[in-house]
Structure 1
């Protein structure tokens, strides 16, 4: 279910911005009723630059769970009532995950659109702007839209090129396997992966801070990809495209905000294509990607664990302590597993959490249903042929271009700095 009024305003702004008459269209839409003006502000990328989710004051309708203001509404306690009983956002508690936008009906909450401010940059082409797209994209825009056709469509919008984030998920698969090899040396040792769900990471950082020492120091594939593109193309801008509102918040975190300049959801991209008359299925194929099957299955729950376990077995086939993975599927499942870890009730040594049921293919801004999304991701993974990045010469060549000459360099904090986060430090 989407906010039709908000979405229609966004599509009008996109269309007229490409036509060059955005100011006139804004004045035409503006009607002074307060709600429309706020929709215009947020649809055009305005509002507090450090926030993602906004309450549209004066919008009609109440919270669908108005009698339940507990964890179903917001894990971080950001959905509260003011002195008059109205549902509002407490900015200091808001993590920007966007879960509330989907939970609350009648559209009193919206997530900011970040595309309109980019359009002039895309049209001028003075600065290269790259689109980096999440592994869950395959199949989202129809069975005829191959990665090559998607790349062609994004170039028509003005992007310099497209990179599949799966390629950098491959790189981080290798890094996570090495981190596990370094940190898990006893039957009681365990590691929480930091990839690739920002809701999972935020839960550990803000709610279960005692577990922070156990979380892998790796950045997410989105951040790795953004930094990698900017390393190879100095001065470039990067736009991430995925199924998740929470990625908009992740991109603004102080220690990693250098990586990605804007975030679009799949539904927003679908609206953009409709607004400017681009049908990706009708376009000619562009160049293909070279990610392995490992990076491509990050889009579904269990994919991260499967990819890293296969890679570790490839790197250290004689290792006595193997990965015993546990997966949490959805926010409540993540919470239960983390609580179990705190209380010593776990029998695994590699913990993966996905805030959305099914993983990224079940994200709030996907276009196709979860089951179909999972099937297309699995098929795309099989098409890669190679399951691990260790066997992918394209991945190894990309690593060398990024300054990583061998696997040992991944454990050198100076050489692998672009792939590392410090979760111990509070932002």
Structure 2
């Protein structure tokens, strides 16, 4: 196998998606061949990841359900597989054995609630009946002896949408969740999973009857250039076409359209926040309602390109392929659902390609050079700012002073939005991306290593 996975959770997710895709190509309902899929994903000779192989296979059944769209009554894009959740203990702040029993007692002095007790050997202890988990004691300890033990899913969720249900398993609050998918990658047991439309996408391709009844377009995010490091970008484009898509179009083209419109809107309104990251928009809706009126009225590049395609061909199917889990929520919105039919992550694309036994390295390199370098720059944090700056220069508005600020990651965005909410931000445009580094740090990427942040997001896919 050419590909390398970050961990076994990612590999198992890939195996399930691949087998579900295979069944879909064959026109077989995945659940009707559940036993066969379970045996392929969880082999008898493998060491069980839980109490026994039978629980492992029961978890696979739930993974198949999510690969087929998940629980339709659950509004969340990211759903919890209860049986897979390890119900990790929640200890909060704990004094570890690293406590030296010093005489300074900085931790005790830092606690305003008197929740720190010191025993006869000068060792500190936290009274959980008084502690409010503020962390001031941990900050004060010169030995870093006080540690905050959090569940990995809760720690990864910067909007505090995850808590513990009555049964101990993780629970995601749909009113708070912004569908960023950070918890999907960070759960060591793979209990938090994004729902997939891979089966529906394959049905759409088959139903087009080789694109004669209607055409199926694949629109690819700019960050595809940082994926599939075992093949060249042009070979990936060829593989996508071989799956049965009528054509492959760069979403960067939609980004070019958005940048021009957003530059005009900013010049007219005087203050604006970006709308290209759906998780960022949801974050503003949820936490900063006073700023909602300042969110750009423009569609995201994905939706803008989808509208462009469907205005020319109303019967066409548009499938977005990218690193973003939140896009799966975006396509459910009234203003977007008519323009984009389904969303597929790079993880799902890899499984789909392999389900057809398409070897990327054997594909010819295809041309795909429909957009500008500014449109491709949307994949990284700061790219939208560069594109709008270019757009303003093109509009020739010497009297308008462009004062942008770019933020990526929820914590950084929170700082900027708090200042804007209080009228203390000396800027007139906020570019916000929830994933660290921008789209190249998306939860649906194949790998999540640091190198993705530095690989040229503007790299042209035109390899000829």
Please tell me the TM-score bracket, short chain as reference.
0.7 to 0.9
Residue in 2 that maps onto 1:84: 167
Residue in 2 that maps onto 1:178: 264
Q: Where does the alignment leave 5 or more consecutive residues of structure 1 unmatched?
A: 185-189, 385-427
Distance 2:455 2:167 in 1: 48
Distance 1:143 1:98 in 2: 25
State the SS of the aligned residue for 2:328: helix
Distance 1:262 1:315 in 2: 35
Q: CA RMSD in A?
A: 2.7
Residue in 2 that maps onto 1:241: 321
> Could you list the per-position Cα deviations for residues 25-49 of structure 1 after superposition, in whole angstroms to 9, with x for gaps in the alignment?
3353367864232111111234217
Deviates more, 1:3-12 or 1:125-134: 3-12
In the TM superposition, residue 353 of structure 1 has moved relative to its aligned partner by 0.9
CA radius of gyration, larger in: 2
Number of aligned residues: 375
> Could you list the per-position Cα deviations for residues 353-378 of structure 1 after superposition, in whole angstroms to 9, with x for gaps in the alignment?
11111111111222354434543323
> Could you list the per-position Cα deviations for residues 383-407 of structure 1 after superposition, in whole angstroms to 9, with x for gaps in the alignment?
89xxxxxxxxxxxxxxxxxxxxxxx
Residue in 1 that maps onto 2:23: 16
State the SS of the aligned residue for 2:190: coil
Deviates more, 1:346-355 or 1:330-339: 346-355
Conservation of the 8 A alpha-carbon contact between 1:63 and 1:105: no
Deviates more, 1:159-168 or 1:116-125: 116-125
Distance 1:81 1:299 in 2: 34
In the TM superposition, residue 87 of structure 1 has moved relative to its aligned partner by 1.8
Distance 1:236 1:96 in 2: 27
Residue in 2 that maps onto 1:365: 444
Residue in 2 that maps onto 1:271: 351
Residue in 2 that maps onto 1:354: 433
Instruction: Tell me which of 200, 223, 233 is aligned to 1:136.
Output: 223
Conservation of the 8 A alpha-carbon contact between 1:13 and 1:26: no
Distance 1:356 1:60 in 2: 24
Indicate whether 1:328 and 2:407 are aligned. yes
In the TM superposition, residue 143 of structure 1 has moved relative to its aligned partner by 7.1
Residue in 2 that maps onto 1:388: none
Q: Where does the alignment leave 5 or more consecutive residues of structure 2 unmatched?
A: 1-6, 39-53, 93-149
Residue in 2 that maps onto 1:98: 181
> Could you list the per-position Cα deviations for residues 71-109 of structure 1 after superposition, in whole angstroms to 9, with x for gaps in the alignment?
745455431222233322234444433222123321111
Conservation of the 8 A alpha-carbon contact between 1:6 and 1:43: no
In the TM superposition, residue 328 of structure 1 has moved relative to its aligned partner by 0.9
* TM-score normalised over the length of structure 2: 0.74
Conservation of the 8 A alpha-carbon contact between 2:161 and 2:172: yes
> Could you list the per-position Cα deviations for residues 90-146 of structure 1 after superposition, in whole angstroms to 9, with x for gaps in the alignment?
344444332221233211111112111222331242332111111111141237523
Residue in 2 that maps onto 1:217: 297
State the SS of the aligned residue for 2:387: helix
Residue in 1 that maps onto 2:330: 250
Residue in 2 that maps onto 1:154: 240
In the TM superposition, residue 347 of structure 1 has moved relative to its aligned partner by 2.2
Residue in 1 that maps onto 2:340: 260
Conservation of the 8 A alpha-carbon contact between 1:177 and 1:308: yes
Q: 1:302 to 1:92 in 2, by over 3 A?
A: closer
In the TM superposition, residue 319 of structure 1 has moved relative to its aligned partner by 1.7
Residue in 2 that maps onto 1:193: 274
> Could you list the per-position Cα deviations for residues 321-380 of structure 1 after superposition, in whole angstroms to 9, with x for gaps in the alignment?
321111112111011110111123322211111111111111122235443454332343
Conservation of the 8 A alpha-carbon contact between 2:184 and 2:193: yes
Conservation of the 8 A alpha-carbon contact between 1:136 and 1:373: no
Residue in 2 that maps onto 1:419: none
Indicate whether 1:45 and 2:59 are aligned. no
> Could you list the per-position Cα deviations for residues 7-64 of structure 1 after superposition, in whole angstroms to 9, with x for gaps in the alignment?
3122112123324445553353367864232111111234217431111121152459
> Could you list the per-position Cα deviations for residues 198-248 of structure 1 after superposition, in whole angstroms to 9, with x for gaps in the alignment?
111111112101011222111110111112211111111111111111111
> Could you list the per-position Cα deviations for residues 242-263 of structure 1 after superposition, in whole angstroms to 9, with x for gaps in the alignment?
1111111111123322222111
Distance 1:78 1:261 in 2: 27
* TM-score normalised over the length of structure 1: 0.80
Q: 1:217 to 1:65 in 2, by over 3 A?
A: farther
